[in-house]
């Protein structure tokens, strides 16, 4: 019938052999690939494998059944990607270039965010809007570096509030800008799949620094630009 792979599902034998073929690739290389930075350390795959096997056992499943037998190894490799940011200093991501005379708001909107809630180890997914007003010395960074910064900070066990503040503080420290604004809007699967079960609810966090914090008009203009809503609208 041509259904010999029946029951293997989307992550069947083919996927597995692909993953195994690449398993000689050092963890540090995978972290460098996803973060764009040489990592200062790596995860301990042996501990993760043992831990995941124990989790499967603990939940009452059979860790030796074919479907999950390779899951500990898969999870260990996945952690290089989703937690790779633990081994990279976000300040290294933002390089400073000088552009004389640009002293207006620089804002990148709708940067995709996919991170893991550190309380439940399930994802939260959404968008970030990141902006800053350069200092008079014209210290700026490449627009792609703002997206890269969000990406690296999101690859850690996270709280959305802390993640938002970390992005703002990193920009403030490296670029010494006159103002910073970071807004993250995300749906938390720990609210969708369990607990209050409110699918579609979006958590919004913001962090403002410098002029964005001290000048209400500058802040509301930046907020409006970042979220695509008119100033004053709720
Ligand atoms: Zn959670």
Three-state secondary structure along 109-133? EEEEEEEEECCCCCEEEEEEEEEEE
Task: Check for a shared fold between 13-87 and 92-227.
Answer: no
CA atoms within a 13 Å half-sphere pointing along the CA-CB vector of 79: 20
> What would the pLDDT profile of 71-124 be if each residue is shown by its tens digit?
999 999 999 999 999 999 999 999 998 887 788 899 999 999 999 999 999 999
pLDDT at position 22, please?
A: 46
Q: Which residue is catalytic, options 20, 57, 99, 118? A: 118
Q: Which residue is catalytic, options 99, 119, 161, 173? A: 119
Cα–Cα distance, 5 to 143 (Å, whole number): 45
Q: Which residue is catalytic, options 120, 172, 176, 221? A: 120
For range 143-160, the mean pLDDT = 97
**Ligand 1 center to residue 129 CA distance, Å?**
22
11 is catalytic: no
Phi, psi of 126 (to 5 degrees): -175, -140
CATH superfamily, region 13-87: GTP cyclohydrolase I, N-terminal domain (1.10.286.10)
What is the residue-wise DSSP string for 190-223?
HHHSSTT--TT--EEEEEEEEHHHH-HHHHHHHH
**Ligand 1 center to residue 109 CA distance, Å?**
25
**Ligand 1 center to residue 158 CA distance, Å?**
9
pLDDT at position 198, please?
A: 82
**Ligand 1 center to residue 160 CA distance, Å?**
10
Pairing outcome for strands 123-133 and 139-140 = unpaired
**Ligand 1 center to residue 210 CA distance, Å?**
30
Cα–Cα distance, 217 to 132 (Å, whole number): 15
Radius of gyration of the chain (CA): 21
Token pair in block for residue 98: 């000088």
What is the residue-wise DSSP string for 60-94?
T--TTSHHHHTHHHHHHHHHHHHTGGGGS-GGGT-
190 is catalytic: yes
pLDDT band at 232 (very low <50, low <70, confident <90, very high): low
The angle, 0 to 180 degrees and rounded to 10, between the axes of the packed helices 71-82 and 45-58 is 120
- Residue 6 pLDDT exceeds 60: no
pLDDT band at 179 (very low <50, low <70, confident <90, very high): very high
What is the three-class DSSP state of 100? coil
Cα–Cα distance, 29 to 35 (Å, whole number): 10
**Ligand 1 center to residue 211 CA distance, Å?**
32
Cβ contacts of 216 within 8 Å, gap of 6 or more = none
Domain spans of the chain, in order of start: 13-87, 92-227
pLDDT band at 34 (very low <50, low <70, confident <90, very high): confident
**Ligand 1 center to residue 24 CA distance, Å?**
33
Domain 92-227 belongs to what architecture? 2-Layer Sandwich (3.30)
Q: What is the pTM of this model?
A: 0.85
188 is catalytic: yes
CA atoms within a 13 Å half-sphere pointing along the CA-CB vector of 223: 20
139 is catalytic: no
């Amino acid at each position: 019938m041509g259904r010999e792979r029946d029951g293997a599902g989307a992550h069947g034998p083919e996927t597995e052999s692909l993953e195994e073929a690449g398993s000689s690739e050092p963890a540090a290389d995978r972290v460098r690939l996803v973060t764009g930075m040489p990592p200062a350390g790596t995860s301990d795959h042996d501990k993760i494998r043992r831990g995941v096997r124990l989790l499967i056992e603990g939940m009452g499943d059979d860790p030796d059944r074919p479907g999950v037998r390779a899951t500990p190894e898969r999870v260990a490799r996945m952690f290089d990607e989703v937690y790779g940011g633990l081994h990279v200093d976000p300040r290294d991501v933002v390089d400073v270039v000088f552009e004389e005379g640009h002293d207006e708001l620089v804002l990148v909107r709708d940067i995709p965010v996919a991170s893991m809630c550190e309380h439940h180890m399930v994802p939260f997914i959404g968008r970030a809007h990141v902006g800053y007003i350069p200092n008079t010395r014209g210290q700026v960074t490449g627009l792609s570096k703002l997206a890269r910064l969000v990406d690296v900070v999101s690859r850690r066990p996270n709280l959305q509030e802390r993640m938002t503040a970390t992005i703002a503080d990193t920009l403030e420290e490296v670029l010494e800008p006159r103002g910073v604004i970071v807004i993250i809007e995300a749906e938390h699967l720990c609210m969708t799949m369990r607990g209050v079960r409110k699918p579609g609810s979006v958590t919004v966090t913001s962090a403002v620094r410098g002029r964005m914090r001290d000048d209400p008009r500058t802040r509301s203009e930046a907020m409006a630009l970042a979220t695509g809503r008119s100033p004053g609208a709720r």
